[in-house]
């Protein structure tokens, strides 16, 4: 059962959750949605709001839903589910795979964006801004060939964290 808590009451190290445990970003609604694995992201305060940023390459199927919807979720799972979930959501496209079904996770639609019953932590985020990396913005030019050999520079979505849910 999920319980709402304040963002400042999250007890886990959010940096560790994103970097090492990974998360799912999910956008869409009952008529269509897509979860994808992310490990690049940040949380903190921006514009006097609790904020999350996610970095998504333009060719990812999830971009369609991020562009269509005002909300997205970032959800984290117990370590024992990492391989099961991210083995599907981090390697297959939702264009031709029902990733939730294949990963064995159950969508929940009681918020403004979908999340999954198996999550241990969910951030419900309202899109407030979007940016895009461009080659001329990089001071350290070595990042470009290392991270962008196909010149598919990430979009940056900024989401005001409107609700935090923990699974008890």
Say which residue the tokens 């998360």 belong to. Answer: 23
Pairing state between β 107-108 and 71-76:
unpaired
Q: Is the per-residue pLDDT at 149 higher than 90?
A: yes
* CA–CA gap between residue 133 and residue 127 (Å, rounded): 18
The string of pLDDT tens digits covering residues 90-136 is: 988 999 989 999 899 999 998 899 999 999 999 999 999 999 999 99
Residue 72's contacts (CB-CB under 8 Å, 6 or more residues apart) are 25, 26, 27, 54, 65, 66, 113, 125, 127, 157, 159
How many Cβ atoms sit within 10 Å of the Cβ of residue 147? 13
How many Cβ atoms sit within 10 Å of the Cβ of residue 31? 5
37, 24 contact by CB (below 8 A):
yes
The string of pLDDT tens digits covering residues 26-38 is: 999 999 999 999 9
Q: What is the mean pLDDT of the chain?
A: 95
How many Cβ atoms sit within 10 Å of the Cβ of residue 159? 29
What is the value of pTM for the model shown?
0.95
Question: What percent of the chain stands above pLDDT 70?
Answer: 100
Q: Does domain 2-167 have CATH number 2.30.110.10?
A: yes
Give SS3 for 98.
coil
Say which residue the tokens 């297959």 belong to. Answer: 92
């Amino acid at each position: 059962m999920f319980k709402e808590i304040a963002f400042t009451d999250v007890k886990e190290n959010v940096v560790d959750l994103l970097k090492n445990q990974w998360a799912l970003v999910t956008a869409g609604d009952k008529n269509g949605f897509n979860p994808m694995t992310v490990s690049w992201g940040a949380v903190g305060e921006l514009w006097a709001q609790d904020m999350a940023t996610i970095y998504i390459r333009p060719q990812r199927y999830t971009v369609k839903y991020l562009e269509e919807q005002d909300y997205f979720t970032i959800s984290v799972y117990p370590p024992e589910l990492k391989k099961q979930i991210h083995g599907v959501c981090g390697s297959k496209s939702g264009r031709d795979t029902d990733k939730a079904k294949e990963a064995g996770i159950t969508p929940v639609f009681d918020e403004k964006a979908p999340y999954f019953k198996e999550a241990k932590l969910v951030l419900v985020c309202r899109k407030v801004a979007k940016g895009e990396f461009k080659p001329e913005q990089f001071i350290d030019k070595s990042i470009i060939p290392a991270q962008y050999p196909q010149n598919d520079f990430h979009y940056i979505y900024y989401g005001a964290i409107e609700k935090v849910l923990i699974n008890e």
